[in-house]
Amino acid sequence: MYGKLPSLIVPRVADSEVLLPPVAADDVLHNSSLIQQLTVAAKDAALLRGVLMRTKEDPSSTESTSYAPFSLFPSPVPKKLFAQAHEVQQDFNMLVDRISQDSKFLTKALASTIEVDEFTAGLFRIYKQVLEEGITQPINLGINRSDYMFDRGTDHSPSLKQIEINTIAASYAGLAERVPDVHRHVLNFWGKSDEAAKILSNNALKGIAEGIAKACQMYGSSEAVVLFLVEKVTRNIFDQRCLEMELWNKNIRVIRRQTLDIYERGALDDEKRLFVDGYEVAVVYFRTGYNPEDYHDEVCWDARLLIERSKAIKCPDIATQLVGTKKVQQEIARSGVVEKYFSECPKSAERIRATFVGLYSIDEGPEGDEIITKAIEDPEGFVLKPQREGGGNNIFGEELKQLLGNIKDGPKRSAYILMERIKPQTVKNYLLHPGSALKLSECVVELGVFGVYISKCRKMIMNESPGHLLRTKSREFADGGVSAGVAVLDTPYLT
């Protein structure tokens, strides 16, 4: 329709160069008439395929919806690194599960942090209480997502480097499954059917649904339900609804409740089965509970404790959520720690460690003093991370320098860790945000791989990496995800 496709761009470029989408040469990106036509087709395709979010203006109403932000073109992802990310995910699943069952390690790793971070301390108090009372449910269901960037390296050859692993409320599997169809349509509309056929399908949602369904089966009650624990206001509700529908299609009843509902209408019976509004709960799937704002008063903590004390399978349980804290991730990166958990399989430890960048404790003492001094001298070389999830919490550049200067002489510094800053290759693309002007942006991409596992009594029953999430954001933004209005959904085009 619009002529022959330009040659693919291979991502080995000089430091000053920027990658182009592998289906669009630079002259195409500046062809305003073509871009406008493709944009209209793309937005309509996103709406038709259910790539949806509620609007910022009316986030509580399904009457006001628009397309979720996404990229016009699929972005280049090195095939080798994509395969590496999927391969190592099963190793990460095992690592998270094994650490979650190592109370000595978690207690030692978080000792300094819980002295100064009230939120982490609240989670840890619940963890200690359920340990003292005895774990009532030996089945663990984990749904996590390990996020990576492609670091340029000194020779400009990209390598896979982990940003973080999310062990609670790992989102966007539902919408991520639908975005490839949008990009296929864009390419087919353009007349690029061969390139459209190369876009990978994404089974993240189906894999997560299989994990929850398997956990329900193992719980052992055909009448029990899956409880989605959700926020009061959820712009990203359609991503959750995708998963709900998958479970309903498997004849699994799903109920949605907020934390306050659990406190007011939840109860345990003599066998510690959890009942909410008369429904026995087989699995509690957390889509909230990872921010201090989610525990706005004491009854929210009481509700979380009620869930943790119950026989319901928690996704995640409190121990697994603690494994996802930045402090624990920093401690895992210490020499010999990963290897300890994979003594029977050194290759797994090697695969995990190959994805690490520098992660540093800034606890009081010579080790912390030394790395703080380096970070103040070179603030662009590090990221300061608090014990928070959800995006938009990290601290960079001059703000990092100022904050470290303010806290370096006191115990509050233990609430943070320092991470070596990744220097990713950039790519040009159009990022489609509802209500925003169309413009060509220089962007960075972030690959997340979903992991789903079930273990019982320290034995792995299921261990999968069913799918992925690619997010792209303008280079001008250092931090922030799709829900924060910074990143957009994308599709990997393997090169």
Q: For residue 164, indicate whether it is catalytic.
A: yes
Question: Are 492 and 200 a contacting pair, CB within 8 Å?
Answer: yes
Active-site residue (options: 389, 394, 421, 481)? 389
Helix (H, G, I), strand (E, B) or coil at 334: coil
256 belongs to the catalytic site: no
Out of 43, 145, 351, 401, the active site residue is 145
| Beta carbons within 10 angstroms of residue 459's beta carbon | 8
Backbone angles phi, psi at 330, to 5 degrees: -65, -40
Q: Which of 326, 351, 388, 401 is catalytic?
A: 326
- Catalytic site residue 459? no
Q: How far apart are CA 28 and CA 73, in angstroms?
A: 11
Residue whose C-alpha is closest to residue 166's, from 342, 343, 291? 291
Set 385, 413, 421, 428: catalytic member: 385
Options 100, 159, 166, 394, the catalytic residue: 166
Quote the CA–CA distance of 466 and 85 in Å, as a whole number: 12
CA distance 160 to 145: 15
Which of the following is catalytic: 66, 71, 164, 467? Answer: 164
User: CA-to-CA distance for 51 and 48, rounded, in angstroms?
Assistant: 8
The active-site residue, picked from 75, 171, 202, 394, is 171
Determine the Cα–Cα distance for residues 258 and 261; give it in Å rounded to an integer: 5
* Residues 212/228, Cβ–Cβ less than 8 Å: no
* Total residue count of the chain as it appears in this document: 495
Of 266, 390, 467, 481, the catalytic one is 390
Alpha carbon separation from 383 to 12, 397, 408, 436 (Å, rounded)? 26, 8, 15, 29
Beta pairing class for 279-286 and 225-229: parallel
Active site residue 272: no
Helix H or strand E segment including 232: none
CA 477 to CA 475: how far, in whole Å?
A: 5
Reference 173, options 371, 483, 469; nearest CA is 469
CA distances from residue 213 to 251, 314, 453 in whole angstroms, order as listed: 9, 13, 12
* E-only strand ranges, 182-278: 225-229, 254-257, 266-268, 274-276
**Of the residues 257, 309, 471, 473, which is catalytic?**
471
Q: Which of 184, 185, 75 is nearest to 447 (CA)?
A: 75
Question: Which tokens in the block code for residue 138?
Answer: 């030996």
The token pair at 330 is: 């920093």
Separation CA 88–CA 231 (nearest Å): 32
Q: Among positive and negative, which fits the CA dihedral 447, 432, 423, 481?
A: negative
145 is catalytic: yes
List, in sequence order, every beta strand (DSSP E) within 273-325.
274-276, 279-286, 313-315
Alpha carbons 430 and 189: distance in angstroms, whole number: 17
Residue 418 pairs in a beta bridge with 360, 384
> Is residue 390 flagged as an active site residue?
yes
User: Is 118 labeled as catalytic in the residue annotation?
Assistant: no
Q: Active-site positions?
A: 145, 164, 166, 171, 326, 385, 389-390, 471
